[in-house]
Chain A
Amino acid sequence: MSSFNGIKRLTTSISFTKRFSLVIRFILALILIFFSIFPVLWIISSSINPSNSLASVKLIPDNWSLNNFYILLPSQGAAIREFSMNILGRDIFPHVPEGKFIFPFWKWWWNSIKIASITTILSLAITTTAAFAFSRFRFKGRQTMLKSILLIQVFPNLLALIAIFLMIAEVGDIIPFFGLDTHAGLILVYLGGSMGLNIWLLKGYLDTIPRDIDESAMVDGATSWQIFISLILPLLRPILAVVGVLSFIGTYGDFVLARILLKTQENYTLMVGLQIFTSGQFSLKWGPFSVGALMGALPIMIIYMTLQDQIVGGLTQGAVKG
């Protein structure tokens, strides 16, 4: 269309149509934006709603307060409260949530960040080396392995949870460090699932790096490992960022496995915690939940927004390559 701009400007009717279509598209964009951010606006609104209830129609509720944010700072709450009374002349935590209406947000959040980070780093190590072998070496069964790795991933793995649970329980009897209710055990299970689509993504990218690079290095007497570490790995940085971010987000957002393997409240990840917190009479706990949801979604939203172009690039590249 853009190439016709010059001609279009010549006739007023076309410029009118164009402006009209621009306005229409703008209105549609506003509607769509409203659709996409409405739940976020609403959860912000509930987080400052002191009544804890789902029932709120106003974007900025009457008597809005930061009351629910108390769950983020339970130990400093009293001090902040006093401070606000003295300085603002207003109690910012008028009715503090207690008992079952409160949850250890930071503990859960830290567990999630910790597990997702360790899993991401280790799974990158596992998948990158594997993808390197698939891309650079020719060995018997290579294609079959590549295909099976992908096919295995589509097995509906809900029932496999029973086997995983029993196995982790038994492993824990021998090596308690990896047992049930441990983060190490959970990370191990996540790593087991890391050989999947990511290998394909990385292998696809590796295939685009010319093999001449390796071959010339090999002539100079470099081992495959040296080639991988000093030549290939730096070139992989863009795709590693994409795969790493996607793996981090995937692990951060998982709840089924974590729900089954983690037992005690202080070991929960944020997703497990929020899910269990909201089961039952969730309409009464809506205020604290919305604070947790908002703060829990924030790290991921920030990652996406800052790395938007790379992620979109990685995704569409995958899309066009298939």
Chain B
Amino acid sequence: MTTTTSSEISFLKNLQSGLFRFLGLLAFDVVIIWFLFNAFGMEFYSLGTVISIVAVVVNSIYLVPKLAPLRWMAVGLALMIIFVIYPIVFTVYVGFTNYGDGHLINKEQALEQIQKRTYLPEEGKAFSWTAYKSVNDEYALWLRDEAGGGFLAIPGEEIVKVESGTSGVGELDANGIPSSIEGYTRLNAIQAATDQNLTEIMFGVEGETVQVRSPSEAAELVPLYEYDQISDSFYDIETGITYKNIDGTYTAPFGETIKPGFRTNIGWENFVRFFTSPALRGPLIRILSWNFLFPTISVLTTFFLGLAIAIMFDDPNFPLKKLIRTLMLVPYTIPGLISIIIWRGMMNPELGVINRTLEQLFGANAAVPWMTEAFWAQIAILIVNLWLGYPYMMLICSGALQSIPSELYEAARVDGASGWQQFRKITLPLLLVAVGPLLIASYIFNFNNFNLIYLFIQGGPPIAGASTQAGHTDILMSYVYKLAFEGGGRGVEYGLASAMTVVLFFVVAALTMFQFRFTNMWEEVSENV
């Protein structure tokens, strides 16, 4: 990277910069090692792995002389690995799992939770009990086992064997029951038998819990499920049913399941579901066709309006040209979110200014159901996007128009071509060469234009009878968002949503490759020496 003019000065300079680099790298590595130590200590394995990769990349960039040019982008690359590439890898990985509601935790955690489930056995070790209640409606239980030992059981505290006189336990009566416990009053047999809450309360701590079983007996809860490691299944001791692990959920032969399930790899299941599930397919066909229709119409309308304006004012002598252009640029200068919310207000069916004006001009029936009827909602979105998009098209078209040599028009006029012919045969083809790639870029942008669809109308109005929350203006991206983050009645489904994202990526990547071919951008990269 540096030229060695073999002078001593340059040698010293190299030494100096090398030392500098070395010290910098050392400081970086110290911080990274501290960070990794913490990350793995807190069991953040994926974060730790990503940072380790970044550390390896950065170190090799600075230590391997061949990679020296990458020193110019080390920070950018590191941040890109962490916040762009890793999330993509994560998304692809999640696409092959059942991650989502009911499958949010890993297997270890799920096993632990399930093994904690207990039930009150019909038989087994039992105590006779006496209940006590405090003024704050807190309960305590005095338990006596067959040997006559007394235990004090309070929810959330360990059950302990207590002698009278300690822990606030008063004198024992003839039956070995304390007449009083500090802070609590004793309930008599009738009060205790009719108390609604008593049978619901778990006394003691997790793992050693006692519950009231009958007016005379309290018993210790025992684990409900027995785990068999070899067959990876749970045996329900109470009912005798075996639950086998099917795709991260312990499922009985008749379909009952134990919750929670766990995150696990389920192969191509999500992709298969995406393409074949009848519940998804119904709305999916609508969504897909709108997903292609919307960017197509949007690109065409914005392009032709922009082009028309560019041609109309492609005349240096047009009065007030600059002012007109500035005013027409206004939509481009307002942050998109603000514009979209403003349009949502203007197109509000009852109160919005557009419908009110239509009503004033053409009578009460002239109001348009912008937000409530599928067709009009789609028209509304196209109008808003036309407003948002045409200034950009106008700009790039007028730039490209000026690059078309005027001799071509003069030659055409000499040959007697009409204005329309000139437009068809000269303007449009030459213009498309220049702005074609941008049209595809705009298509790609609108293909995933989540912000517009979601902020304007949340993809609504809903498609009747769809099992998921699909709407008539939903594109795949907004549908994915709803599946992943809103869930509706079915719960969030990160796995399915990720699988759909991967499919979407291939569509968009294909379009992008096509665009590159169109622009010869690939070749341009190689040509530029």
Residues of chain B lying within 8 A (CB to CB) of residue A224: 1-2
Residues of chain B lying within 8 A (CB to CB) of residue A115: none
| Residue B11, interface by CB 8 Å | no
How far is B106's CA from A79's CA once the two chains are assembled, in angstroms? 59
Contact of B342 among A140, A152, A271, A293 (CB under 8 A): A293
How far is B481's CA from A249's CA once the two chains are assembled, in angstroms? 25
Residues of chain B lying within 8 A (CB to CB) of residue A133: 69-70, 72-73
| Residue A296, interface by CB 8 Å | yes
**With contacts A55-B351, A133-B72, A137-B1 known, is A156 near B345, CB below 8 A?**
no
Residues of chain A lying within 8 A (CB to CB) of residue B80: 149, 152, 192-193, 195
CB of A126 to closest CB in B, whole Å: 4
B346 touches A39 (CB 8 A): yes
| Residue A267, interface by CB 8 Å | no
Closest to B99 in A: A162
CB contacts between A and B, total, < 8 Å = 283
Residues of chain A lying within 8 A (CB to CB) of residue B327: 33, 36-37
| Residue B184, interface by CB 8 Å | no
Residues of chain B lying within 8 A (CB to CB) of residue A87: none
How far is B526's CA from A175's CA once the two chains are assembled, in angstroms? 43
Residues of chain A lying within 8 A (CB to CB) of residue B318: 22, 25
Contact of A301 among B84, B334, B444 (CB under 8 A): B334
How far is B320's CA from A29's CA once the two chains are assembled, in angstroms? 11
How many chain A residues sit at the interface, stated as a range, is 35 or more
Binding site of B, secondary structure by majority: helix, strand, loop or mixed? helix
Residues of chain A lying within 8 A (CB to CB) of residue B313: 25, 29
| Residue A286, interface by CB 8 Å | yes
CB of A166 to closest CB in B, whole Å: 8
| Residue A88, interface by CB 8 Å | no
| Residue A69, interface by CB 8 Å | no
A188 touches B83 (CB 8 A): yes
> Which residues of B in the span 77-119 have a Cβ within 8 Å of any Cβ on A?
77, 79-80, 82-88, 90-91, 94
A315 touches B72 (CB 8 A): no
B42 touches A170 (CB 8 A): yes
CB of A220 to closest CB in B, whole Å: 10
How far is B444's CA from A135's CA once the two chains are assembled, in angstroms? 27
B509 touches A130 (CB 8 A): no
| Residue B175, interface by CB 8 Å | no
B400 touches A316 (CB 8 A): yes
Best-buried of A22, A126, A193, A301 by chain B (most CB within 10 Å) = A126
A319 touches B435 (CB 8 A): yes
How far is B42's CA from A292's CA once the two chains are assembled, in angstroms? 42
Chain B, residues 481-500, CB within 8 Å of chain A (1/0): the string is 10010000000001001100
Contact of A130 among B72, B82, B336 (CB under 8 A): B72
| Residue B356, interface by CB 8 Å | yes
| Residue A65, interface by CB 8 Å | no
A-B contacts, 13 of them at CB < 8 A, read A2-B317, A22-B318, A36-B328, A132-B72, A139-B70, A152-B88, A159-B498, A163-B91, A167-B87, A274-B341, A283-B351, A289-B341, A320-B403
Residues of B within 8 A of A (CB): 1-3, 5, 10, 13, 17, 35, 38-39, 42, 44, 46-47, 50, 66-67, 69-70, 72-73, 75-77, 79-80, 82-88, 90-91, 94, 309, 312-313, 315-319, 324, 326-339, 341-346, 348, 350-353, 356-357, 360, 387, 391-392, 395-396, 398-400, 403, 406, 410, 434-435, 437-438, 444, 448, 450-451, 455, 477, 480-481, 484, 494, 497-498, 501, 504-505, 508-509, 512, 516, 519-522, 524-526, 528
Ranked 9 nearest A-B pairs via Cβ: A316-B399, A192-B83, A160-B87, A133-B72, A130-B73, A163-B90, A163-B87, A253-B335, A137-B69
Residues of A within 8 A of B (CB): 1-3, 22, 25-26, 28-29, 32-33, 35-37, 39-40, 42-43, 46, 53-57, 126-127, 129-130, 132-133, 135, 137, 139-140, 142-143, 146-147, 149-152, 154-164, 167, 170-171, 173-175, 188-189, 191-195, 207, 218-219, 221, 223-224, 249, 252-253, 255-256, 271, 274-275, 278, 282-283, 286, 289-290, 293, 296-297, 300-301, 304-305, 308, 312, 315-317, 319-320, 322
